Amino acid sequence: MDSPAKPHVRPDPNAPGRPVRGISDSELINRESIFRPDLLAGKRILVTGGGSGMGKATAILACRLGARVAICGRDPDKLVRVQALIAEATGQEIFARSVNIRDPDAVEAFIGAVHDELGGIDTLVNNAGGNFSQDAIDFSRKGWLAVIDINLNGSWWMMQEAAQRWRDAGTPGNIVNIVANVERGMPQAAHNCAARAGVIYLSKTLATEWAPFDIRVNCIGPGVIETEGFSVYPEEALVRFHKANPMKMRGDAWDVAQKIVYLASPAARFINGDLSIIDGGQAQWGVIWPGGIPDYFNETGAA
């Protein structure tokens, strides 16, 4: 009996079926970018969740393009490693601090420290978040509140604190919120779906309210993006994720980082209140089951 064929994962047809857990440090430093090397020269960018995944990729790319960067996260060891990597590769020193963004007092103190260190912030990238896969009916109260608190409330505390400083100083500001594609719901991640939907419509509201202060607010909704975060999902679910988009491929953190850099650049000056989906067309085609597809829904072609 022939062994089952490995899933075809483009753009590399020879890649193993198992998804990778992020981009290597060497590739993050050396991967080609379409942007000119000084695109963000003089800009100050704050990235939450900057110790790994999309946040790490964004911090590295921003530094490569001339920005001064601050990052925060929950794991101080990860932050130190990113600091060292950027210093070795670019000669730049970035500001990093372990912060619990669910604590508004901690957020206020951290953004104050970033202002002291960098002299201000031009773009806030709200990338930090948390999630776990489970049927909604089985959520504990603690589990529900944990995801809502970091993904919705934490994003809000960061946005409000940054915006108040921009307003009071009379300087423009730019916010990029990393959310998710929630248009058709997110089975086995209802708490994350609720939080991300809240951030999306909060952002659309703020994009109008804060326009008189010259503050732009936009969102990016990644689809299946290979990062270290893949470690929280069962293998049987991971190997099917790419089947949920018509391109049948997985994105990576660089795809998202380049979009963030675009929104932080002068080219995006007239983009406000937008939600940009980076998912290979999944929004039109498939459904992700991060905990593994239930037998009830296990039909040919489903992911």
pLDDT tens digits, one per residue of 116-162? 999 999 999 999 999 998 999 999 999 999 999 999 999 999 999 99
Residue 298 has pLDDT above 90, yes or no: no
The reported pLDDT for the residue numbered 3 is 39
Tell me the C-alpha distance between 239 and 89, whole Å.
33
Question: In the predicted model, is pLDDT for residue 227 greater than 80?
Answer: no
pTM for the model stands at: 0.88
Using 50, 70 and 90 to split pLDDT, how confident is the model at 303? low
For 76-120, write each residue's pLDDT tens digit: 999 999 999 999 999 999 999 999 999 999 999 999 999 999 999
Worst-scoring range by mean pLDDT, 68-77, 208-217, 241-250, 270-279?
Answer: 241-250
pLDDT at 230: 59
Q: What is the pLDDT of residues 178-225, one digit of tens each?
A: 999 999 899 999 999 999 999 999 999 999 999 999 999 999 999 887
